[in-house]
Amino acid sequence: MSSKQIPSDYQPAPELLAGRRILVTGAGDGIGRAVSLALAGHGATVILLGRTVHKLEAVYDQIVDAGFPQPALYPLNLAGAAPDDYQELANRVDAELGGLEGLVHNAGILGSLSPLLHYDEAEWMEVMQVNLNGAFFLTRACLPLLEQAADAAILFTSSNVGFRGRAYWGAYAVSKFASEGLMQVLADEVEESGTLRVNSINPGRVRTGMRAAAYPAEDPQSLPAPEEIVMPYLYLLGPDSHGINGQAFDCG
């Protein structure tokens, strides 16, 4: 499947996301933090989900200090979360915010880079739980809210190794292949709705902790910062991408 890019001349309106409520997983640092700040900066009320409270609080404070719409905090460790935990989250979003227009599946873990023959069973299960099962259960719980919205978007995070397998990338690569399949199945199911679109995004080479763990010899300063790749997220989560569904996008 070939990947697409947003229009090179795309310029989001300042209030592109005004009135929209968007949930971002892994919002405490890296790409999730940068995307959350960009969404809030364009008018969205962002639900910051992550496992580390002090990191979420730092993003919360930065959004509030900038005068953007007040976000919401939701600490949750996807590795240990059960289906009921995701349903409770959706119920609270509905009760406290009254709806949802966007869902960004950004949280993920790398796991070991090792041959499949020697891959640790417990680690395999944890990577699948966070990268795939968590995305499925969260999507399923939030889907009724998203389907009630006049215009809504779900965005899965992909990877180069989720389109073409690479030796030693193990559970991470397999989870990304599966996430891409989950996106395509769901996109096909909602195709006729006209109000909900489902796509994936491949951040590519970005200066993050996960990238440093996968490529320890690489110079981080040679990579774009997370703040430099937020434009595709704004496009795919906002009304300018209305009608675009079931597509894989690259940030580069």
CATH number at residue 183: 3.40.50.720
DSSP state of 149: S
233 is catalytic: no
In a domain, 16, yes or no: no
Q: Is the CB of residue 86 less than 8 Å from the CB of residue 140?
A: yes
pLDDT at 252: 65
pTM flag (> 0.75): yes
For residue 160, how far is the Cα from the chain centroid?
16
> How far apart are alpha carbons 56 and 178 in whole angstroms?
28
In a domain, 117, yes or no: yes
In a domain, 45, yes or no: yes
> How far apart are alpha carbons 127 and 148 in whole angstroms?
31
**Average pLDDT of span 99-112:** 97
Whether the predicted pLDDT of 181 surpasses 90: yes
**Average pLDDT of span 130-155:** 98
Domain hosting 71: range is 21-247
- Dihedral (CA of 102, 228, 1, 11) sign: positive
Please, how many CA atoms are within 13 Å of residue 9, restricted to the half-sphere of its CB? 0
> How far apart are alpha carbons 170 and 100 in whole angstroms?
34
Token reading at 48: 């910051």
Round the CA-based radius of gyration of the chain to a whole number and report it.
17
Q: Which of 219, 218, 213 is nearest to 108 (CA)?
A: 213
Whether the predicted pLDDT of 28 surpasses 70: yes
Whether the predicted pLDDT of 206 surpasses 80: no
Q: Is the CB of residue 168 less than 8 Å from the CB of residue 176?
A: no
In a domain, 11, yes or no: no
Could you say which of 60, 74, 168, 172 is catalytic? 172
In a domain, 180, yes or no: yes
Q: Which of 86, 179, 7 is nearest to 187 (CA)?
A: 179
Residue 165 CB neighbours (<10 A) = 12
In a domain, 184, yes or no: yes
In a domain, 7, yes or no: no
Residue type at 131 in one-letter notation: N
In a domain, 104, yes or no: yes
Q: What are the φ and ψ backbone dihedral angles of 114, each rounded to 5 degrees?
A: -155, 165
Whether the predicted pLDDT of 69 surpasses 70: yes
User: What's the total number of domains in the chain?
Assistant: 1
